[in-house]
Amino acid sequence: MKRYRAALLALITTLALSPVPAAAADEGPEQIVNGTFDTGTAPWWGTANITLAVEDGRLCADIPGGTANPWDVIIGQDNLPLVAGETYAYRFYASGTPAKVGKALIQLPVDPWTQYFAANPELSVSGNDYAYTFTAPVSLTNAQAVFQLGGSAEPWRFCMDDVSLKGGAEPEVYEPDTGPRVRVNMVGYLPAGPKKATLVTSETSTLEWELKNADGKTVARGSTVPRGVDDSSGQNVHTIDFGAHRKPGTGYTLTADGETSRPFDIEEDLYDELPTDALKFYYPQRSGIEILDSLRPGYGRPAGHVGVAPNQGDVEVPCQPGVCDYTLNVKGGWYDAGDHGKYVVNGGISVHQLMSTYERDKAAFRDGRLNIPESGNGRPDILDEARWEQEFLLSMQVPDGEPLAGMAHHKIHDQAWTGLPLLPHLDPQPRELHPPSTAATLNLAATAAQAARLFAPYDAAFAAKNLAAARKAWAAAKANPEKYADPNDGVGGGAYSDGNVSDEFYWAAAELFITTGEKEFKDFVLASPHHTGDVWRDRGFDWGNTAQLGRLELATVPNALPDRARVRQSVVQGAEKYLAIQQAHPYGIPYDVPDYDWGSNNLVLNNLVVLATAYDLTGKEKYRAAVREGMDYILGRNALNQSYVTGYGEVASKNQHSRWYARQLNPELPNPPRGTLAGGPNSAIQDPVAQRLLQGCKPQFCYIDDIESWATNELTINWNSPLAWVSAFLADRGERSDCKVRYSAHGSWPGGFTTQVVIENIGKKAVDGWQLRWSFLAGQQVGHSWGAEVSQDGSVVTAKGTGWNDRIKPGGAVTFGFNGTNPSGPNPAPEVFHVNGARCG
């Protein structure tokens, strides 16, 4: 998916970072020359911006401030011999005044600077002794030991002594601290939802468990269910099911096999804050705008990439050499991940899922909810946040009159990689547009078509601009169906290559059909192999597998597709597949593959999206229960016994890979904001830290909460987008009402229509005082009404009784009607209605 050089991935096979046993360091000959500085500074060298000197028997240097990257200031020694397969003990003393975080590396001395050992020692004013082990993956006569010390805004002083590198050490095995063997959702459980935990034990027969409240009183007890060895973790596990206990409370714990879980709550409002926090993640990811500390205390920073020195900005970005002879203003959008790149294919699925979160229940997202600069403008904040990215996607379209006009550039990022930490406004690298691709163009077509209908009630001009861009992108993609991103274009940013874009064609056609109702797009959808094929991969969907997005949209957004009933049933079939996987998994995960993918957590969540959609389509509780149980894995019921969402759970990820949420490297910088999802276990362990610490890991154990582990611990916009979607579903109480609504169009004319609505009470109790809510597809507006008081906010319409018809008896009905306007496009009947806040069955 992302990041860094192929040579690095091929060579790094080091093992463990841990204290070195005292005897181990004395096994082999000393490789470092003059590590005690008794004979001066030679053969140590420094970059031209520092002067090395020996003071009090230590090598010291004044490190200048105002540098951008760690490698801008280096102290090193060359020509160190390494033997492949040999384990080395590396020791040194170092201090920093004021305290800083440095980088200690053993590496190749020439490009690509392959690192055989890497650590980030926290340097204190008083100084510390540091000891590590690593195993050399290659034999080399000229390895280099370096201390990278740049990247600080302020000057500081570095000193070191007693540097030693000796072979013959015993390799240390990395053992993550997994806490108690009873694994729970550390945030908690919903009173009426499933409540399961996992016990890790060597026992193969049933064991007794107890549920205790905050006072230590046992409130429930039962027996575990042995599940055998879980392939994804290598652990022998039991399942604890305490779903019968529904009493709300805080500070519950589970005890079994002599172990007591971390505390958790049982509350109805467990997920009320998570959707907002997951969506608030996006504002400080914005490019091209100052992040206000008044809106995000602790996260304020200057605008990034607006052309203020040393930053070269995104306001006039040229193409890579030979790609084009124009520049584009591509300021804005979201930084994709922990670096400063912006990618259309990753932005596409991200902004789509935010808009889909809104489209599922438009009434749930109001203006002011996210506390962003646009709050108070009368438009839902979630749409304002999505617009920030959608404007960027539009700006990446090739202008009229140029070769490949209408296509979208695949990405824009730095010419070369930058180091950590580095705030966006300090990035000195030149920026480049990369060649247009069919995948990027279809992402633009899909999201622009979706934006056209969602923004129609709020900004008709912006909606029209998006629809025009979507049509232009569609035509350009059809004319250039096989312009693929170069899989080797991964310097300075991820490649995001995709050699099959038939799924993007299907998704884009689906969005264009829903928005326009036009025959061209309907015919394309019906002819696509993805329309009737099984798109429900075990591994879930992501930026490179988007046919599922088209299928979900066609199933849930009102449209006139002739086989729509089959489409909806296919989503239910996909949900059944994931439900079966979850029920068979000892940890209750709807994702069971032999090797976990990069960003596995987002794939788990996307499978939960399918299950949640099946609940929306059918109302069957088993699908909603599956979503609730699946979220347990993300929030602590996993092999590592930790939450992957920052700020949620007693032990949670907080050192995700980022250049500006880099507290692990610089205590003056923050950790990622509350509600940030970590990528999660990744069996490929491509980065140096993962390669060193996680060799031979079982899938669930292939994760470490370290800022340098970009393969397992990255944050990205397309990982937080399904977190926002699923958490919004979980926060929805999901009440169902005994009602039935018939919405009938009685006539239409150019620009207008008339509709009759009948609400039936199919329950056993009278409804005293009714209020009906629905949403229009796009820019429809209610005018004159009769039999009800009707109001409208954006596309959300609310009707309520007029006094004489406030009461609906069991078996009874009320009827009202209205005239409306429809500026353009299809005007399908709404399909989701809520009476007094509860969804009609």
705 assigned to active site: yes
User: Which of the following is catalytic: 172, 384, 511, 714?
Assistant: 714
pLDDT, one tens digit per residue, over 744-758 is 999 999 999 999 999
Six-digit token pair at 579?
């439900």
Give the pLDDT of residue 27.
67
Give the pLDDT of residue 689.
86
Six-digit token pair at 280?
């608030």
511 assigned to active site: no
What's the pLDDT band for 3 if we cut at 50, 70, 90? very low
User: Which of the following is catalytic: 339, 374, 427, 706?
Assistant: 339
pLDDT, one tens digit per residue, over 602-611 is 999 999 999 9
Rounded-to-integer distance, Cα 466 and Cα 461, Å = 9
User: Which of the following is catalytic: 230, 314, 504, 705?
Assistant: 705
Give the pLDDT of residue 167.
94
Question: Is there a cis peptide before residue 176, judged by omega within 30 degrees of 0?
Answer: no
Give the pLDDT of residue 699.
98
pLDDT, one tens digit per residue, over 229-266 is 999 999 999 999 999 999 999 999 999 999 999 999 99
pLDDT, one tens digit per residue, over 423-443 is 999 999 999 999 999 999 999
Contacts 24+ apart (CB under 8 A), 801-806: 801/769, 801/770, 801/771, 806/768, 806/769, 806/770
The predicted model gives 368-381 an average pLDDT of 97
Question: Is there a cis peptide before residue 586, judged by omega within 30 degrees of 0?
Answer: no
Residue spans of alpha helices (H) in 540-678: 547-556, 564-584, 600-618, 621-634
Report whether pLDDT(563) > 80. yes
In the chain, pLDDT over 90 holds for what percent of residues? 89
Give the pLDDT of residue 113.
83
Q: Is 109 helix (H, G, I), strand (E, B) or coil?
A: coil
Q: Is 116 helix (H, G, I), strand (E, B) or coil?
A: strand
Report whether pLDDT(614) > 70. yes
pLDDT, one tens digit per residue, over 277-291 is 999 999 999 999 999
CA-nearest of 658, 701, 693 to 677 is 658
The predicted model gives 348-367 an average pLDDT of 97
Mean pLDDT of all residues belonging to the chain: 94
pLDDT, one tens digit per residue, over 121-178 is 999 999 999 998 888 888 999 999 999 999 888 999 999 999 999 999 987 778 999 9
pLDDT, one tens digit per residue, over 107-124 is 999 887 888 888 889 999
Neighbours of 293 (CB within 10 A): 11
Report whether pLDDT(512) > 60. yes
* Residues forming beta bridges with residue 786, ordered by sequence position: 817
Rounded-to-integer distance, Cα 138 and Cα 85, Å = 7
Six-digit token pair at 209?
């468990």
Angle of helix 438-454 relative to helix 344-360, nearest 10 degrees, comes to 30
What's the pLDDT band for 11 if we cut at 50, 70, 90? very low
657 assigned to active site: yes
pLDDT, one tens digit per residue, over 479-493 is 999 999 999 999 999
Q: Is 700 helix (H, G, I), strand (E, B) or coil?
A: helix
Report whether pLDDT(724) > 80. yes
Neighbours of 124 (CB within 10 A): 14
Please give the C-alpha separations between residue 261 and each of 178, 184, 784, in angstroms, as whole numbers: 11, 7, 59
Give the pLDDT of residue 605.
98
714 assigned to active site: yes
Give the pLDDT of residue 75.
98
| Positive or negative torsion for Cα 669, 673, 674, 680 | negative
The predicted model gives 496-522 an average pLDDT of 98
Six-digit token pair at 91?
């020791």
User: Which of the following is catalytic: 305, 352, 410, 657?
Assistant: 657
Six-digit token pair at 727?
């958490």
Give the pLDDT of residue 347.
98
> Strands 264-266, 188-189: parallel, antiparallel or unpaired by DSSP?
parallel
pLDDT, one tens digit per residue, over 64-85 is 998 888 999 999 999 999 999 8
The predicted model gives 44-48 an average pLDDT of 97
Give the pLDDT of residue 13.
32
